[in-house]
Amino acid sequence: MTTWFPKNERTWLERIVIRILSQGIIPKHIAFIMDGNRRFAKKLNQEKILGHSQGFIKLTETLSWCRDLGITQATLFTFSIENFKRPKEEVNYLMDLFRKQTKKVFEEMSKIKQYEICIRVYGNINLLPIDIQQGIARMVIETAKFDRFFLNICFAYTAREEMTNAFNDLQQCVDKHIIEPSDINYTTITNAMYSLGINDPDILLRTSGEIRLSDFLLWQSSFSTIFFLDALWPEFTIWHLFAAILNYQFEYRSMKKSREDYFQLLRGEDDKFCRQIYHNQQSSKNYNNYEQFIIERESKINECYEFIRNKRIEHLYSILLANDISNNNNIDMTTTRKKLITNGSDHHHHHHHHNIDGLLYEFNQSL
């Protein structure tokens, strides 16, 4: 099994290019659709499933390039819910590969600490074998305190399932009278996603020549620069990454402007909508003024975010405790749990990626 931290020094020329690119805007967050592993193996006349191991080696190299470039967040489309429809042999192989990768994370925890890597998993992990769920829960909890580099792994994930889960969680907040149906808007939906509204990808990159997003981060990628490459994932090089970043720098200004215009429009619409609700409720609710109404509304919405975050954290702990794993792993459950929950509750604004904040992200808890 390969390492998560391959030793690969940058060449003189690569270092020069990194320095040149760094004169422009370096993206903070890149999302990867790592496509083409099976075709790569076929090209080499190997068994198709062996391409996935090559793909993991390429992934570890790519993460080291990201760190060298100063990129602080990577999101990986590792396994779609649709992939469960593949031949059983291949699904089992992929599950075993993920088990090995997770085990390697724990073996290399000193490096994870050194680079301060926070690992988050987005997806419906209830669909996975219980031992994999427990590995995910432990990995997410043990790395939640780090915040120099964020590695988001989309596993048993589709964007449609993520959106459905977000709506279900918001519906629960309505049912519990934490928020009103009228509080559900673009912002609340964004913050109920697995990613909890934390730094959408600047670049979404797909290898293998396919021109589609395959149900990946559909909500979060509206203002991402999309970069399609013909190379298969195991053929991906640092030069392809340089090209994607250069392309992003060319498009940065126009993308930034359209994003700002869009959010300004949203804010205007939201303000208009809130004033209408305030006007309609004035007779029945005792607000002194519009500002007080807005403060109370935001407070309720933050309470909803906290409810969702805590529910996801509780789900992780319930997975760990289900097998009494806490007795065997040196995790101080009580302290970590408190830290996860208190860190989360400082979370009023979702634009700073707080450790925990999003961290726990994930899991769809259909409790």
Amino acid 57: pLDDT: 94
Q: How confident is the model at residue 337 (pLDDT cuts 50, 70, 90)?
A: low
Cβ contacts of residue 163 below 8 Å, gap of 6+? 189, 193, 218, 219
pLDDT, one tens digit per residue, over 194-231 is 999 888 999 999 999 999 999 999 999 999 999 999 99
pLDDT, one tens digit per residue, over 126-161 is 999 999 999 999 999 999 999 999 999 999 999 999
pLDDT, one tens digit per residue, over 340-361 is 544 443 333 433 333 333 334 3
CATH superfamily of 26-359: Decaprenyl diphosphate synthase-like (3.40.1180.10)
* Spatial separation of the C-alpha atoms in residues 84 and 88, rounded to whole Å: 8
Amino acid 280: pLDDT: 83
Q: Which amino acid is at 317?
A: Y
Q: What is the pTM of this model?
A: 0.87
Q: Provide the residue ranges of all domains of the chain, joining segments of one domain with +.
A: 26-359
* Spatial separation of the C-alpha atoms in residues 121 and 124, rounded to whole Å: 9
Average pLDDT, the chain: 88
Question: How big is the chain by its Cα radius of gyration, in Å?
Answer: 22
